[in-house]
Amino acid sequence: KGKRAFIAGVADDNGYGWAIAKSLAAAGAEILVGTWVPALNIFESSLRRGKFDDSRILPDGSLMEITKVYPLDAVFDNPEDVPEDIKANKRYAGSSNWTVQEVAESVKKDFGNIDILVHSLANGPEVIKPLLETSRRGYLAALSASSYSYVSLLKHFVPIMNPGGSSISLTYIASERIIPGYGGGMSSAKAALESDTRVLAFEAGRKHKIRVNTISAGPLRSRAAKAIGFIDMMIDYSLANAPLQKELSAEEVGNTAAFLASPLASAITGACYIR
Ligand code: NAD
């Protein structure tokens, strides 16, 4: 039987989440996505209006189907966590059940279980500030949205993941090497994500036979990357210095994720894949 995947962090057709969804769909998986609440309306209406149809084409010519789009804000674990100003915010008030715990409950109610969990989201409100100028609030916000969000997703989804399931996140080399410009605590957030990958691989592996890996991806001109401001420079740098002198495509990262989620990778866990 085909596998079912939940991919958190898809809000357009330019990012890694979309590319991973496509590679998993091409391999026969059913696709569910979690979309950041403030981006939900535009994503759903663009999908409906056919704006993504060209990017939905799979290698066999068919169109990727997204079975269901769930609103999600991964910085909130349950309704008690949501502050009043967010509750009252028009963009949030229009949707419901978008905290991590509620999304996992909804997926359980709708589908019973999943096999693949993908975390393809990050946010650092002070990313353009050097670490030395980052506020405590900005630093903690980066960790909350980019690192703990993964701990929380896995924690809430593991109970509905079939044994042998696979979980994947996306990280960036700024965790290990200094990349000036990747500020606001985002380098710290990626370091935490990579360390957590090893710990979570141990815990989720022992307890539920779930594999946990992360992909350290090269630079891609996504919406999030453009907001950081130096993406073209990073692409030029990779082109000049990487062993394969070509621009990385999102599809190549998608295919790495599909491999890691497949039985071909059945003994690979706790790893950081560099692509
Ligand atoms: P993207 O903009 O396509 O994806 C980021 C997504 O995160 C967006 O859809 C956004 O709506 C969502 N998001 C932000 N805060 C959220 C929250 N609180 N709850 C739920 N969703 C939230 O950009 P991308 O570059 O494809 O990013 C995907 C992942 O890839 C991120 O972890 C990023 O750090 C990582 N990555 C990107 C690059 C790159 O060059 N683009 C390189 C290495 C790693």
Mean pLDDT of the chain: 97
Ligand 1 centre to CA of 195 (Å) is 19
Which residue lies with its CA nearest to atom 11 of ligand 1?
36
3-class SS of residue 171: strand
Tens digits of residue pLDDT in 203-260 = 999 999 999 999 999 999 999 999 998 899 999 999 999 999 888 999 999 999 999 9
Q: What would the mean pLDDT of 134-160 be, rounded to a whole number?
A: 98
Q: Is 120 in the pocket of ligand 1 (CB under 6 A)?
A: yes
Q: What would the mean pLDDT of 159-185 be, rounded to a whole number?
A: 97
Q: Is 256 in the pocket of ligand 1 (CB under 6 A)?
A: no
pLDDT value for 174:
96
User: What secondary structure does DSSP assign to 198-255, as a single string?
Assistant: HHHHHHHHHHH--EEEEEE------HHHHHHS-HHHHHHHHHHHSSS-SPPPHHHHHH
Q: What would the mean pLDDT of 31-47 be, rounded to a whole number?
A: 98
Ligand 1 centre to CA of 120 (Å) is 5
Q: Is 182 a catalytic residue?
A: yes
3-class SS of residue 156: helix
Tens digits of residue pLDDT in 5-17 = 999 999 999 999 9
Q: Which residue has the higher pLDDT, 31 or 1?
A: 31
What b/e string do you get for 161-170 counting C-beta neighbours within 10 Å, with b at 16 or more? beeebbbbbb
- Give 275's pLDDT tier (boundaries 50, 70, 90): confident
Q: What would the mean pLDDT of 91-97 be, rounded to a whole number?
A: 94
What b/e string do you get for 205-229 counting C-beta neighbours within 10 Å, with b at 16 or more? eeeeebbbbbbbbbbbebebbeebe
pLDDT value for 45:
97
pLDDT value for 274:
86
Given the residues 16, 139, 182, 273, the one annotated as active site: 182
pLDDT value for 1:
67
**Closest atom of ligand 1 to CA, residue 75:** 18
Ligand 1 centre to CA of 225 (Å) is 8
Residue 75 has pLDDT above 70, yes or no: yes
Ligand 1 centre to CA of 153 (Å) is 15
Given the residues 16, 70, 150, 172, the one annotated as active site: 172
Q: What would the mean pLDDT of 32-45 be, rounded to a whole number?
A: 98
